[in-house]
């Protein structure tokens, strides 16, 4: 039996991926750019074992058995790796051996926190380790076919998913723009918002968007290319103000496109909008752009903020969005934040936004992080090819 265990990080888009030109190959209508988040706070962890004795491919996700051969996206990733392994020549065991896969997300699945990106990146990376394949751009084209944005979770730091132009998708790859060390004090506060409404899934949402939005193609062709260029320059120069403005405009435009979809897809709620509004007022009050919001296909806010500005921003958030559990470790997750005194101006901006209590479920403090990593065998999720529990 051969086994590999790896973790892969979550990534958060800055220039947004929204809309496919090929549903099956998951080819996007525009480039996107993301930042990879530290795996310490959030990651997917996957163990894959291959054995001559396995009768069939099997998979457990968060401890539950899930379909394998029926999952076209999963199969596409496995077959993609098989093709690479064949082309590579060397492999320690026959490709005909079946695999057992166990995967966990250490954060809520489908909470709008890009669990599928980390999950498929981890799957592909772990398969690559199992078959001794080198980490390269071809792996990103395979991860992309599991979940589009998964290709961006194969690198740390800042990552650029290029849409590509070829019909087979071979040039729709992710490349690293800069490693995490380039801008190590880039942190993030994730505000997880209470929300009851059912939402259109992002796959369905972007499909409807491509079919019905009168603005989405204009966005893809005329707006995104310049934004990608400008964002890459801002990252290069570590220019937070430009970085922030592009990021917020991109988030707003994604949700504009969703609203222009028919019937409309609405992912942000009143609390999300209150957070965005708070960020604009906060930046104005402190006199410089110190925070930038971005929202994906859900109501949660991800706020980019430099490490040195985290304590003050968090204090203002706590005032604006009060919570009964505001000081508890269950509420403030992730990297600890030293307390800070809040100045009067900040108190004013925050209090201008106070609505009901407990609008946020919890807050995660995290930062820029590395790409996937292989773990030692004692971290395996499988023992003799089967999950630990069960």
Q: Which residues bind its own copies (CB under 8 A)?
A: 196-197, 214-215, 218-219, 222-223, 245, 248-249, 252-253, 255-257, 259-264, 266, 269-270, 273-274, 276-277, 280, 355
Residue 15 Cβ vs its own copies, minimum distance, rounded to whole Å:
13
Residues with Cβ within 8 Å of 64's Cβ and at least 6 positions away in sequence, in order, are none
Q: Which is nearer to its own copies, 44 or 271 (CB)?
A: 271
Report how far residue 82's alpha carbon sits from residue 209's, in angstroms, rounded to the nearest whole number: 34
**DSSP for 33-80, written as a single string:** EEEEBPTTTSEEEEEEEEETT--S-EEEETTEEE-STT-HHHHHHHHH
Count CB neighbours of 111 within 10 A.
17
* Whether 55 contacts 61, CB under 8 Å: no
Q: Which is nearer to its own copies, 179 or 264 (CB)?
A: 264
Using the minimum distance from each CB to its own copies, give the nearer residue, 137 or 245. Answer: 245
Least distance from its own copies to the Cβ atom of residue 357, Å: 15
Q: Is 370 helix (H, G, I), strand (E, B) or coil?
A: coil
Q: CA–CA separation, 119 vs 116, rounded Å?
A: 5
- Report the interhelical angle of 137-144 vs 115-130 (nearest 10°): 130
CB of 227 to its own copies, least distance (A): 9
Could you tell me the smallest distance in angstroms from the CB atom of residue 141 to its own copies?
30
Sheet with strand 373-375: strands edge to edge? 64-66, 58-61, 98-105, 43-51, 2-9, 373-375
- In the complex, the smallest distance separating the C-beta of residue 259 from its own copies, rounded to whole angstroms, is 4
CB of 271 to its own copies, least distance (A): 9
What is the C-alpha separation between 366 and 334, in angstroms, rounded? Answer: 6
Distance CA 60, CA 382 (A): 10
Q: Give the nearest distance from C-beta 339 to its own copies in angstroms.
A: 29
Closer residue to its own copies, CB minimum distance, 101 or 289: 289
Q: Which is nearer to its own copies, 51 or 252 (CB)?
A: 252
- 149 alpha-carbon distance from chain centroid: 7
Residue number, 262 or 358, with CB nearest to its own copies: 262
Nearest approach, Cβ of residue 298 and its own copies (Å): 14
- Indicate the residue among 273 and 347 with the shorter CB distance to its own copies: 273
Beta strands in the chain (DSSP E): 2-9, 11-15, 20-22, 27-28, 32-36, 43-51, 58-61, 64-66, 98-105, 158-161, 174-178, 186-193, 292-294, 301-306, 332-334, 360-367, 373-375, 382-383, 386-387
Strands 58-61, 43-51: pairing kind = unpaired
**Cα distance between residue 324 and residue 343, in whole Å:** 22
Is the CB of 277 or the CB of 326 nearer to its own copies?
Answer: 277
Partners of 28 in beta bridges: 20
The distance of closest approach from Cβ of residue 266 to its own copies in the complex, given in angstroms and rounded to an integer, is 5
CB nearer to its own copies: give 253 or 323. 253
């Amino acid at each position: 039996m051969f086994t590999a265990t790896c973790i892969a990080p979550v990534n958060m888009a800055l220039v947004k991926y929204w809309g496919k030109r090929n549903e099956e190959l998951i080819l996007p209508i525009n480039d996107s750019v993301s930042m990879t988040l530290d795996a310490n706070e959030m990651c997917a962890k996957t163990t894959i074992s291959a054995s001559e004795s396995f009768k069939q491919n099997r998979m457990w996700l968060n401890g539950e058995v899930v379909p394998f051969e029926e999952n076209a996206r999963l199969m596409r990733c496995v077959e993609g790796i098989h093709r690479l392994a064949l082309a590579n020549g060397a492999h320690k065991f026959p490709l005909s051996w079946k695999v057992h896969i166990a995967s966990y997300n250490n954060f809520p699945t489908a909470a709008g926190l890009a669990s599928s990106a980390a999950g498929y990146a981890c799957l592909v990376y772990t398969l690559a380790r199992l078959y001794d394949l080198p980490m390269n751009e071809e792996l990103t084209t395979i991860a992309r076919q599991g979940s589009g944005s998964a290709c961006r979770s194969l690198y740390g730091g800042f990552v650029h998913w290029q849409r590509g132009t070829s019909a087979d998708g071979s040039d729709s790859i992710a490349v690293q723009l800069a490693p995490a060390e380039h801008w190590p004090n880039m942190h993030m506060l994730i505000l997880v918002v209470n929300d009851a409404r059912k939402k259109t899934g992002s796959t369905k949402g972007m499909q409807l968007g491509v079919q019905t939005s009168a603005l989405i193609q204009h966005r893809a062709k005329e707006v995104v290319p310049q934004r990608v260029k400008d964002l890459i320059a801002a990252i290069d120069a570590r220019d937070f103000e430009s970085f922030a403005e592009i990021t917020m405009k991109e988030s707003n435009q994604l949700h504009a496109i969703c609203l222009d979809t028919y019937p409309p897809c609405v992912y942000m709620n009143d609390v999300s909008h209150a957070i965005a509004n708070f960020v604009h007022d906060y930046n104005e009050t402190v006199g410089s752009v110190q925070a930038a919001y971005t929202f994906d296909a859900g109501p949660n806010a991800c706020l980019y903020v430099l490490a040195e500005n985290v304590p003050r921003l968090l204090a203002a958030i706590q005032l604006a969005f009060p919570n009964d559990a505001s000081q508890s470790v269950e509420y403030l997750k992730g990297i600890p934040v030293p307390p800070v005194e809040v100045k009067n101006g900040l108190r004013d901006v925050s209090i201008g936004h106070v609505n009901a209590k407990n609008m946020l479920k919890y807050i995660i403090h995290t930062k820029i992080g590395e790409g996937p990593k292989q773990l030692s065998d004692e971290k395996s999720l499988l023992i003799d090819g089967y999950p630990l529990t069960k």
